[in-house]
Structure 1
């Protein structure tokens, strides 16, 4: 299957989850809405959890890894928070409806790629202390994003992104 078709299926899945909730999405419904055969789906995804994992990875890679070298890290942070905000119904549903895919861990691992890049660009060694910082900071950051989705009055994405930028500038003396 081409990457474009996989992304199409992922988009259909993401839209359906946002509209109806993760628990109300089935592989049969995704196949029908995507216009694909059962065999095509199962040649590329084991089940809807595998599709969920692919969807989150592709969204994060699109926001983070594909922009490293093109945008400054502050811009990428804003882009990540904007993407979470745009897809808040999707993220809320998959976070609270299932445990098979580690949503926080997946998002955090992609943010870690960016932080590692920042640390190396600043000329610091990516030693064990740096690895511990990145792991802890990224998990905290991701939980902050998720927590904000469930607040009665969530902060705007740019407010949280600014706080993250400030925290990184302070911590890394940038």
Structure 2
């Protein structure tokens, strides 16, 4: 890992610590860098502002969680990993879902759900030797991606996070099985 990436990860960790007890709009670059124990100017060597940092944290962590594993584990296993990831990082993502300013986290997250649903539906077609018409496939991907993003957002914003991957998996599987009829 390059020193630049190590520094970015250290800044990101400090940022996430700050978000655990402070609302996003109250966090300054000074707060983040004091938490990281790094001089303030170093922040600007890596990020333009806290919005870019926020975007980087999201893309980096979700990429590690979802996109980097696309070729190695099944779509439903990725779904379980994604839900587990949000359970572990609930307080951080609760704040991200609440941000309605410059960067809208929800729409970026929705794109990751699209990638995941494309994989799940593609695997279903291969496993069941069942071709789904393109128009119907697009609808299913969009429908399930939006539903998944919305469910994760809803449960993340609630006080007691409880989202069962097996229930979501069952709903998706039922919708795919019904298409064959």
C-alpha spacing 1:19/1:170, structure 2 compared with 1 (3 Å):
same
TM-score under structure 2 length normalisation: 0.81
SS of residue in 2 equivalent to 1:173: helix
- Aligned pair count reads 171
Q: Which residue of 2 aligns with 1:71?
A: 73
Q: Would you say 1:165 and 2:172 are equivalent positions?
A: no
Q: Give deviations 1:36-65, integer Å, cap 9, x for gaps.
A: 333321122111111111111112111111
Corresponding position of 1:113:
115
Question: Which residue in the other structure is 1:148 paired with?
Answer: 155
Matching residue of 1:81:
83
Structure 1 residue 126 displacement after superposition: 8.5
Question: Following TM superposition, by how much is the alpha carbon of 1:153 offset from its aligned partner in structure 2, in angstroms?
Answer: 4.5
Specify which of 1, 9, 14 is matched with residue 7 of structure 1. 9
RCO (CA 8 Å, sep 6+): is it higher in 1 or 2? Answer: 1
Distance 1:171 1:35 in 2: 51
For 1:132 and 1:10, locate their aligned partners in 2 and report how far apart those are by CA, in whole Å. Answer: 36
Corresponding residue for residue 34 of structure 2 = 32
Structure 2: unaligned runs, 5 residues or longer: none
Query: Which one has a bigger Cα radius of gyration?
Result: 2
